[in-house]
Amino acid sequence: MTAALYSLRAGRSVKLLEKENFGGQIADSPRVENFPTISSISGLDLSSRLFDQITALGADFDLDEAMSIEKIDGGFLVKGKSGEYKAKSVIIATGVKHRHLGIEGEEKYLGHGVSYCAVCDGPFYKGKNVMVIGDANSALQYAILLASQCPHVDVVTLFDKFFAESYLVNGLKALPNVSIYHNLSSISFNGDGNKLSSITFEDTKTHERKEFAEDAAFVAIGQVPDNERFSSIIKLNRGFIQTDEAMKTSADGVFACGDCREKKIRQLATACGDGAIAALSASDYVFKTTSN
């Protein structure tokens, strides 16, 4: 959406394609406290404000999933699941998707006790006992949120420590209805019919099997890119899009920004910076190609 904002302010027309929710992952964040000028805001509110800003400037949008990008005379053809779109330049901002544990029962109980978004699904388990699997910022944010809705939250990590910001670690440890378990490897999600009832783990040090009775499990173990659909037109490295500092990909006229590209730091502020750069680069590309 930042790319759309800067493109519109540069005098370009913009078509914004989104397959799920405008704002991507940040829209699911219960609290954002590291964005300049804003002390604290929910990710959904932040996304909504930006969406209102770009639509007021004239951004056109469709809920569709882009499946491929093809070079055609005069620009590009983006093929979605629901339609086809022509553009003189394309900016890819597909972000990343949730990483799965890959264990028995994970797919079976997805939506029936297994979730990757506490903001989305947490309210369904209000008053019930739940678990969070993960050790970084998102996992701890999920656990703190769930602890305000559920009588008890178990937090399980694979290693012997957390990899989150200290204020989240301290905040989690201070909650009386949270139990923390380290050094546990996920083995299986178990259930009765189509409903999750427990999760089995193995202690990485003693190799002892442990089973936790839970009404729901929220998995927060990181994200992976989802760019293979564009590999025929741009270069990828371990699934991430290769760009230069101007956000230019290996294909002239195609740019990328945010978490989907190869980079060291993936934060809201850096994603916005990427979006601004990509928009200005794409606008410059359109000006040069249409002037010749």
Closest among 108, 69, 72 to 232, alpha carbons compared: 69
User: Model's pTM, two decimal places?
Assistant: 0.78
69-91 mean pLDDT:
97
pLDDT band, very low/low/confident/very high, at 292 (cuts 50, 70, 90):
low
CATH 3.50.50.60 at 114-219, yes or no:
yes
- Architecture of the domain defined by 2-97+223-291: 3-Layer(bba) Sandwich (3.50)
Has residue 165 got a pLDDT over 90? yes
5-36 pLDDT, tens digit per residue, is 999 999 999 999 999 889 988 887 777 888 99
Residue type for position 18: E
Work out the end-to-end distance of the chain between its first and last CA atoms, rounded to an integer number of angstroms: 29
Residues of the chain with CATH 3.50.50.60: 2-97+223-291, 114-219
User: Is 235:228 a contact under the CB 8 Å cutoff?
Assistant: no
